[in-house]
């Protein structure tokens, strides 16, 4: 298939750092480029398989890694735009691309000739005929593992069934994502009487008003966060409105046109069947084997250790909150009462703090300043370069010696076509093989204020800003030879480590004095508030740990239950969810699971299936690394350089736990996490 030369993906971008030429890209360009790219990649890899020269690093590994450039350009752009600014047309394209990519994966990793070629290289290495550098050696080890995990050694009948399951799963997961997003948009709560918004900040009300106007509605529209807890509940003093928002959140996907229960059942059962075909007892074991955890037993052991103390703390925290209202405490009261108690205990509240957290100041004097202090890198906004939406900003990133590192794209505001939550992705992966430098994107869902008004953040949004930039740093500071090993392309349960480490700088006292400045008066945040912010880190940790644990354990239940015990009908999902949480000991009504099954996009659409535990697993590393930073002077260039060289730069080119031990000098100690979360 020959791609029309007029298609903007037909040749490499001429923009700096190979940035996608968004001004030229239209929806109709994606599918032809993907189709041509798939055909091209298969031909390039078949050439690797058919090469009759003795296999070596150049004609196997380098040739493999150089393949698929057209496909990479098209998908790097599409997978950036579709989650962030989708349309019906893009959703339809996504539905077509998903099974195509599943078939491509099968065509590559069930290609016996290609497997034999890679195996022959491994044989030459073992015989001492070929010498590989450490990154190439690790690449070879991982590719052989990928072939086996894709079923290359199975009988053809089983391989055919695997191909069917993979294609089916791709379609089901894509459908779940689209239906879940539509359900969240439809569940937004319209408020027609401003009096019901008592307690909400002017910034919150202005954003809700603008959201309603965007949809042609009269009133204030409270759009929903992707997860169960809704940040707006911390502000609303109207208890009935809090109930409406909470119930709108938890009711998503359980009925009507946006019902996802059938998809949940089909996805879970297909994954279970696939795992058994590949020789694993369940999907959880299949995932853990390729992660740092290695076994689902290790995952369950870590989660179980946290469950009892977390739930115990929920009960203690509830006893503290109940005196704040006459009515019995309900889930929709928790965030509001918690914020009230936090204000009394630590002498400030969210409404008073927010004017000190203006987006531009937090970004430049907080997020960017921390990166400069640690790594010497600097940022220059490139208004001459365009993103995929007019709200996307482009920054060029420079290393300490002034050389260009790459581009950072920031897309911070919520909109109807954007999926909930926050995330990072790469458009271009850093690699030395092709001489490419990284282009990375951060997405958040901050409510945009009316024109001319400042964007004032909640403390949670500040933490999210730092968190997602930690992912961006993993991509920007990558130093790998091969694209597939660059930056965040590590085991799933390590991916969240750099992002969680980066959160710690939001509470650095010196940095807080720089970025937490009143947007009108210019006064820095009162010093006593800084102390209180740090002290408040232990506040409400039972609740926050339990809702995260519940989601992690629900994920494990869906993916470790034998197929003959999984639900077979949509109407069995609710009972399965309830039993799973009860069995895990995390069925705390006042701390409902962060995601219920019907809107758990991380696991039923994204790449976190049987891997949502990664947030807590990575936090064990993060808390341990945080202890090292504090013991060695905190935010310094020397500490940043060690962290960059040993943990960020290698990406997935080496065993990540080995690099962590090299950085830390020991295995991570879970005790630091227990202390951080007040669970010991």
- 394-448 per-position pLDDT tens digit: 999 999 999 999 999 999 999 888 988 899 999 999 999 999 999 999 999 998 9
Kindly state whether residues 264 and 191 are assigned to the same domain. no
| Residue 527 domain flag | no
Instruction: Classify strands 393-398 and 220-222 as parallel, antiparallel or unpaired.
Output: unpaired
Is the pLDDT reported for residue 536 higher than 90? no
Kindly state whether residues 496 and 561 are assigned to the same domain. no
In the predicted model, what is the mean pLDDT of residues 249-278?
Answer: 98
- Phi and psi at 517, nearest 5°, equal -130, 135
* Token code pair at residue 403: 């050389």
Out of 252, 275, 306, pick the residue that ends a domain.
Answer: 252
Out of 199, 230, 252, pick the residue that ends a domain.
Answer: 252
Kindly state whether residues 386 and 498 are assigned to the same domain. yes
In the predicted model, what is the mean pLDDT of residues 156-181?
Answer: 95
372 burial class (0-12, 13-18, 19+ CB within 10 angstroms)? middle
Kindly list the catalytic residues: 468
| Residue 340 domain flag | yes
Is the pLDDT reported for residue 32 higher than 90? yes
Largest CA distance in the chain: 80
- The predicted-structure confidence for 610-669, as pLDDT tens digits, reads as follows 999 999 999 999 999 999 999 999 999 999 999 999 999 999 999 999 999 999 998 898
| Residue 652 domain flag | no
Helix 156-186 to helix 261-277 angle, to the nearest 10 degrees? 160
| Residue 487 domain flag | yes
| Residue 73 domain flag | yes
Domain span at residue 200 reads 187-252
| Residue 526 domain flag | no
Out of 122, 149, 176, pick the residue that ends a domain.
Answer: 149
Kindly state whether residues 361 and 508 are assigned to the same domain. yes
**Residue 162's pLDDT band (boundaries 50, 70, 90)?**
very high
CATH of the domain at 83: 1.20.1050.40
CATH of the domain at 602: 1.10.1370.10
In the predicted model, what is the mean pLDDT of residues 237-252?
Answer: 98
CB within 8 Å of 284: residues ≥ 6 apart: 296, 299, 556, 559, 560, 610
Kindly state whether residues 506 and 361 are assigned to the same domain. yes
In the predicted model, what is the mean pLDDT of residues 561-577?
Answer: 98
**Residue 76's pLDDT band (boundaries 50, 70, 90)?**
very high
Please tell me the predicted confidence (pLDDT) of residue 456. Answer: 95
Kindly state whether residues 486 and 567 are assigned to the same domain. no
In the predicted model, what is the mean pLDDT of residues 29-39?
Answer: 98
Helix (H) or strand (E) holding 396: strand 393-398
| Residue 575 domain flag | yes
Is the pLDDT reported for residue 348 higher than 80? no
Kindly state whether residues 482 and 510 are assigned to the same domain. yes
Kindly state whether residues 499 and 371 are assigned to the same domain. yes
| Residue 624 domain flag | no
Question: How much is the mean pLDDT over the chain?
Answer: 95
Alpha-carbon distances of 196 from 200, 233, 258, 275, 390, rounded to whole Å: 9, 12, 28, 50, 33
CATH of the domain at 400: 1.10.1370.40
**Residue 528's pLDDT band (boundaries 50, 70, 90)?**
confident
Kindly state whether residues 340 and 367 are assigned to the same domain. no
Count the domains in the chain: 4
**Residue 368's pLDDT band (boundaries 50, 70, 90)?**
very high
Kindly state whether residues 412 and 431 are assigned to the same domain. yes
Kindly state whether residues 601 and 582 are assigned to the same domain. yes
Please tell me the predicted confidence (pLDDT) of residue 622. Answer: 93
Please tell me the predicted confidence (pLDDT) of residue 49. Answer: 98
- The predicted-structure confidence for 474-512, as pLDDT tens digits, reads as follows 999 999 999 999 999 999 889 999 999 999 999 998 999
Cα radius of gyration rounded to whole Å, the chain: 25
Kindly state whether residues 204 and 279 are assigned to the same domain. no
Please tell me the predicted confidence (pLDDT) of residue 8. Answer: 98
CA separation for the pair 378, 217 (Å, rounded): 43
């Amino acid at each position: 298939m020959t791609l029309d030369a007029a298609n903007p993906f037909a040749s490499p971008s001429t923009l700096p750092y190979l940035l996608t030429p968004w001004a030229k890209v239209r929806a109709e360009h994606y599918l032809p480029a993907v189709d041509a790219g798939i055909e091209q990649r298969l031909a390039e890899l078949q050439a690797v398989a058919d090469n009759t020269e003795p296999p070596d690093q150049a004609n196997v590994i380098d040739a493999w890694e150089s393949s698929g450039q057209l496909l990479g350009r098209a998908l790097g752009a599409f997978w950036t735009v579709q989650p962030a600014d989708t349309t019906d047309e893009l959703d339809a394209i996504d539905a077509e691309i998903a099974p195509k990519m599943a078939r491509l994966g099968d065509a590559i990793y069930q290609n016996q000739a290609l497997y034999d070629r890679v195996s022959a290289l491994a044989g030459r290495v073992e015989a001492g005929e070929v010498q590989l550098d450490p990154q190439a050696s690790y690449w070879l080890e991982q590719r052989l593992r990928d072939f086996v995990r894709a079923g290359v050694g199975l009988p053809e009948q089983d391989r055919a069934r695997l191909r069917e399951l993979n294609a089916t799963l791709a379609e089901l997961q894509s459908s779940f994502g689209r239906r879940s997003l539509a359900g969240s948009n439809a569940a937004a709560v319209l408020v027609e009487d401003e009096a019901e918004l008592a307690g909400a900040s002017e910034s919150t009300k202005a954003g809700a008003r603008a959201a309603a106007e965007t949809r042609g509605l009269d009133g204030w529209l409270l759009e929903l966060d992707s997860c169960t807890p809704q940040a707006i509940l911390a502000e609303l003093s109207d208890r009935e409105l809090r109930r409406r928002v909470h119930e709108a959140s938890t009711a998503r996907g359980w009925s009507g046109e946006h019902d996802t229960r059938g998809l949940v059942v089909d996805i879970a059962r297909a994954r279970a069947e696939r795992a058994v075909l590949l020789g694993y007892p369940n999907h959880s074991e299949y995932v853990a084997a390729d992660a740092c955890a290695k076994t689902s037993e290790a995952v369950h052991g870590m989660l179980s250790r946290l469950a009892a103390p977390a739930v115990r703390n929920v009960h203690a925290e509830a006893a503290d909150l109940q005196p704040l209202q006459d009515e019995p405490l309900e889930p929709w009261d928790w965030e509001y009462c918690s914020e009230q108690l936090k204000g009394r205990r630590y002498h400030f509240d969210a409404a008073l703090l927010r004017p000190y957290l203006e987006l531009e100041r937090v970004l430049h004097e907080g997020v960017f300043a921390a990166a400069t202090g640690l790594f010497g890198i600097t940022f220059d906004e490139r208004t001459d370069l365009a993103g995929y939406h007019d709200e996307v900003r482009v920054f060029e990133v420079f290393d300490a010696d002034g050389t260009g590192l790459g581009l950072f794209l920031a897309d911070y505001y919520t909109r109807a076509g954007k999926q909930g939550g926050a995330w990072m992705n790469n458009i271009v992966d850093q690699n030395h093989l092709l001489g490419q430098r990284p282009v990375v994107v951060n997405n958040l869902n901050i409510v945009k204020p009316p024109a001319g008004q400042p964007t004032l953040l909640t403390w949670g949004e500040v933490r999210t800003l730092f968190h997602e930039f930690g992912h961006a740093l993993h991509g920007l500071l990558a130093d790998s030879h091969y694209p597939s090993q660059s930056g965040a392309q590590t085991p799933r349960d390590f991916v969240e480590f750099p992002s969680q480490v980066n959160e710690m700088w939001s509470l650095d006292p010196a940095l807080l004095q720089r970025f937490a400045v009143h947007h009108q008066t210019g006064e820095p945040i009162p010093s006593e508030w800084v102390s209180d912010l740090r002290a408040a880190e232990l506040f409400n940790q039972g609740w926050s740990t339990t809702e995260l644990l519940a989601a992690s354990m629900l994920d494990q239940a869906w993916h470790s239950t034998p197929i003959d015990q999984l639900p077979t009908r949509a109407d069995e999902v609710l009972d399965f969810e309830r039993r799973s949480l009860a069995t895990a000991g995390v069925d705390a009504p006042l701390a409902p699971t962060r995601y219920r099954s019907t809107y758990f996009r991380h696991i039923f659409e994204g790449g976190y299936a049987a891997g949502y535990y990664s947030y807590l697993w990575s936090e064990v590393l993060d808390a341990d690394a945080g202890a090292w930073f504090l013991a060695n002077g905190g935010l310094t260039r020397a500490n940043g350089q060690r962290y960059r060289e040993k943990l960020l730069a290698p990406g997935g080119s080496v065993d990540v736990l080995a690099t962590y031990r090299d950085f830390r000098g020991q295995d991570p100690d879970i005790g630091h996490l227990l202390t951080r979360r007040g669970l010991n």
